[in-house]
Chains A and B, each alone.
Chain A
Amino acid sequence: MRIIKKTNIPFLSYRWIAMGISLALILGGVGLILFGPGLNLGIDFVGGTQVTVKFQREPDLEALRKTLARLTVGEPVIQRFDEPEKHEILIRVENPKGKEGDFTRPIIDLLNEEFNGSLGDAFDLNLQGVKELTELLIEANPDGIATDDPEALQAHYGPMAEAVMDWRKQHGIFTSVDEIDNVEGLSDAVRAFIKQRSAAGAFSLLGAESVGPAVGADLREKAELAIIFSLLGMLIYIWVRFQLPYGIGAVGALFHDVLITLGALSLTQREINLPTIAALLTLVGYSVNDTVVVFDRVRENLRLKRSQDLQPLMDESINQTLSRTIITSGTTLMVVLSLYIFGGDVINTFAFVLLVGIIVGTYSSVFIASPIALGMTRLMDRYRKRRREGKRRR
């Protein structure tokens, strides 16, 4: 089977059109970043506190917003996490300016006060952990184990507490204490005790993240260094393996890819966090990979047909590698699409960056990298020629 028959497309003849389109996209992206909504930097880089909670039933978001406004300096961001029927809410607040410290606790306490006021001193099955439940069981000793050896008690009640919390792990939240009946491995006495002593609070904590300004600044610096050094590393590698114009062409294409992807991130206002940077760097690796395959062919053809002009030779090389370029982009796109669709909310932006990046990266390795390499080669040839002539005249 063949998707692409032998082609003979004069890609480089379209270079000015392609560059025009790219320039428009880049300027649009940079414009969005600088003058538009900008980049939505996540708490990894600007600091802040982010809490993800799962509610039993849909909470009143407006009331939630009002409650949280009491706590924080800026406007709290409250958004849905994952599918609506899961009732999962992500809350993001700014930390007090320039302050370090523990800012997760107050949020949980506030939510607890707001939603679990009626629980009294009942044991909250949705907020407490294995350790607490084990301690509760050991203290009450519902099975009446006759020993004063704490380890024996631990061995008896520990696994039961774990079973209860495992159930919560599977289902996310207890919607009523009666669900204890579904937990396997509990003795009847323990089951009855838990039902009598505990309550199912309104929410469970899925995750919490708090990054202070010092760590935020640190992470930002590291992300910048990672990007700068990998671009430099690639420039040098391609310079050594090929020639300087090709290195410039490849890195030019990379800037192109990164800028357009950042523009897409600004447009969609997706949050940029550490994994997003990882995705950007992967895209850098992927795009340069694509470009190198083309350059490799150019180098090979240059050896075979020394006399031929560079432009048709580049066109020929791009055409020869075209079906590979499209198939590889296709297979990579398939898996990234799978990640985008099935991977869940946590990894969604990661997949989005790769999705955009692979399309842009494939385009740039054909329409941007080679034209730049061609232009730079011509420029350098002209420069050398002029120097040679200048010498002769003297």
Chain B
Amino acid sequence: MDKKLLWRIALIVVVIGLSLYSLYPPQEKIHLGLDLKGGIHLVLRVNTDDALKAELDDAAQRLVSQAKDKGITLGTATTDLESLSFTVEVPPGTDTAALREVADSYLPEFKVSVGAGKWTFTLPANVARNIRDQAVKQALQTIRNRIDQFGVSEPVIQRQGLESDRVLVQLPGVDDPGRVKELISNTAFLELKEVVAGPAPDRQSLLARLGGTVPPDAEVLTGDRKDMDGRVIGKEYWLVKKAAIITGRELRSARRSQDQYGQPAVSFSLVASAAEKFGKYTESHIGTNMAIVLDHRVMSAPVIRGRISDEGIIEGSFSVQEAEDLSLVLRAGALPASITYLEERTVGPSLGHDSVVRGVRAAIGGLIAVMLFMMIYYKWSGLNANLALTLNIVILMGAMAYFGATLTLPGIAGVILTIGMAVDANVLIFERIREELEVGKTVKSAIEAGFGRAFGTILDANLTTLIAALFLFQFGTGPVKGFAVTLSIGILASMFTAVFVSRTLYMIILAGKDRVESLSI
């Protein structure tokens, strides 16, 4: 056997091996889409106007109350979302210099324009955009926290586009949309709690020092254990007091800031009623940990360094991102803006199951019909094509597993269609070989010419189909995208199997024979 042939065989074996390797075990490696596995697909819009309106109202309130502290009495304030501004009535005889000072120090980001008897404070567009962006980020974070708590495997929670106010939520295996939506729109429950013991890697070791039982006034909570880079590497257990020191309702705001050494930290402020209570508690617990608990999960447990009353700062060895995240978590007590559902799709598990069964049945039916036809029509050469077809399916599945592509119901249709279209390349080649044989060429040169001439056609024909698949992928969503992926991979794989593999099979059969009288085709 010549060297060239050996190389070809080796390449084919490697491709088969890689495909099978990436495919095994198939139940784990082939990801089923929501439409097959069952689950929920939600697209929701974060109504960022709410956050903007809240910011304007808050600013107006702040201005009025701060001015009052300085002895300036202002009239009513009205906010106008359209122009990103609020207008406050300034009675005649007001000390305008003092008012400007208040405005400059408490509302530095606003542009002030002074009118007759009223001042208008306008939020610059870039600040407004930032507020909208923050609102979406915060909503995303909140939803993620709550979905985590729901215990769904492989959830997708992402923003659709960079500046978009839309959030996509996909939850495989969940079949009650009502419950999920309830979970999303509920206010999350934030609590700051006293840490009794922890963290520990498991429940037993956490309770070991306490004799294995949970004290009546405490409870066991869990949180994510993270490595130095903030990646989640496992779970950790905390024992905390049941009674909260402070709840989210008493928190006014939280934002990322810096500690005295310039390290990232999180600042927060409390409403007046909570400040005194918190001040007392922190004063008597300096040096102990305080758990920040969101929806019954420990998000972090910083050490109390000193008395905190209305304005506090949480220090830790945070990265900028972590500080940002924590402030987000603290703020996430409530969704920053209301939510509107734009799209909702639920596939019940039995419908998905049914689709898989039927899809597989259709694929097998089609496959058998095509293979029988090829065997009858092209005899031994048909067997060659069938081998190539089988390989094509193996490679297609292997490639899908390798790229982590998702198999959807239209995707199954794509596989089925590939079966029909993949033999096309073989048909083109075989018909060409027949033609060459008819004009009196020898078997070897007919095969040579058949493959050679047909290849250009196959390339042109398949590339055009690939163009359609490409645009489908670009503009398609969900299941349709899955279809485009299977179709594209199927086309590429069919070019390899029909042209390269089939040719090699002929070469193996003809190898070593000087003259071949007839070809079974």
Contact = CB atoms under 8 A, between A and B. Distances in A.
Given A207-B351, A274-B477, A324 B427 contact: yes
A89 interface: no
Contact of B476 (A52, A222, A297, A330): A222
B477 to A, nearest CB: 7
A25 interface: no
A53 to B, nearest CB: 9
Interface in A195-216: 204-212, 214-215
A182 interface: no
B428 interface: yes
B198 interface: no
B491 to A, nearest CB: 9
Contacts of A320: 435
Interface stretch (A29-37, A280-288, A382-390): A280-288
A282 B483 CA distance: 10
A332 B369 contact: no
A339 B416 contact: yes
Contacts of A100: 45, 340-342
Nearest to B173: A130
Interface string A325-368: 00110111111111101111011001100100000000000000
Interface string B372-388: 01101111000000000
Contacts of B344: 102, 104, 208-211
Contact of A282 (B214, B366, B461, B487): B487
Given A102-B341, A281-B472, A300 B453 contact: yes
A100, A105, A222, A339, most chain B CB atoms within 10 A? A339
A212 B345 CA distance: 11
A162 to B, nearest CB: 10
A350 B366 CA distance: 16
A212 B424 contact: no
Interface string A209-227: 1111011000100110110
A104 B346 contact: yes
Interface in B448-484: 453, 456-457, 460-472, 474-480, 483-484
Contact of B362 (A206, A327, A342): A342
B431 A335 contact: no
Q: How large is the interface on A (under 10, 10 to 19, 20 to 34, 35 or more residues)?
A: 35 or more
Interface in B335-386: 340-351, 353-355, 358-359, 361-363, 365-367, 369-370, 373-374, 376-379
A254 to B, nearest CB: 10
Given A101-B340, A211-B343, A289-B464, A171 B410 contact: no
A148 B216 CA distance: 12
B465 A288 contact: yes
Contacts of A8: none
Interface stretch (A69-77, A230-238, A260-268): A230-238
A334 B369 contact: yes
Nearest to B152: A131
B175 A205 contact: yes
Nearest to A358: B420
Interface in A29-60: 52, 54
Interface in B167-199: 174-179, 181
Interface size class of B (residues with CB under 8 A): 35 or more
A78 interface: no
Given A205-B348, A210-B341, A335-B417, A170 B179 contact: no
A296 B459 CA distance: 11
A169 interface: yes
B370 A334 contact: yes
Nearest to A214: B342
Contacts of B35: 346
B362 A341 contact: yes
B409 interface: yes
A241 interface: yes
A351 B366 CA distance: 13
Nearest to A242: B460
A129 B369 CA distance: 40
Contact of A332 (B150, B359, B365, B417): B417
A334 B203 CA distance: 60
A245 interface: no
Given A105-B178, A169-B349, A215-B342, A275 B480 contact: yes
B431 A292 contact: no
Given A100-B45, A278-B410, A292-B460, A148 B472 contact: no
B423 interface: yes
Interface in A165-197: 165, 168-173
B77 interface: no
Contacts of A339: 362, 366, 413, 416-417
B175 A129 contact: yes
A388 B145 CA distance: 75
Given A151-B203, A338-B416, A350-B410, A296 B457 contact: yes
18 contacts: A1-B379, A101-B341, A170-B350, A222-B477, A229-B474, A233-B471, A238-B464, A275-B480, A289-B421, A320-B435, A331-B424, A332-B420, A335-B417, A338-B365, A341-B365, A342-B358, A342-B365, A347-B409
Instruction: Please name the 6 residue pairs, one residue from A and one from B, whose CB atoms are nearest each other, closest first.
Output: A335-B366, A285-B468, A332-B420, A285-B465, A338-B366, A226-B475
Given A149-B220, A342-B362, 11 more contacts: A105-B178, A108-B178, A172-B354, A274-B476, A281-B468, A282-B487, A290-B461, A300-B453, A324-B431, A334-B369, A339-B413
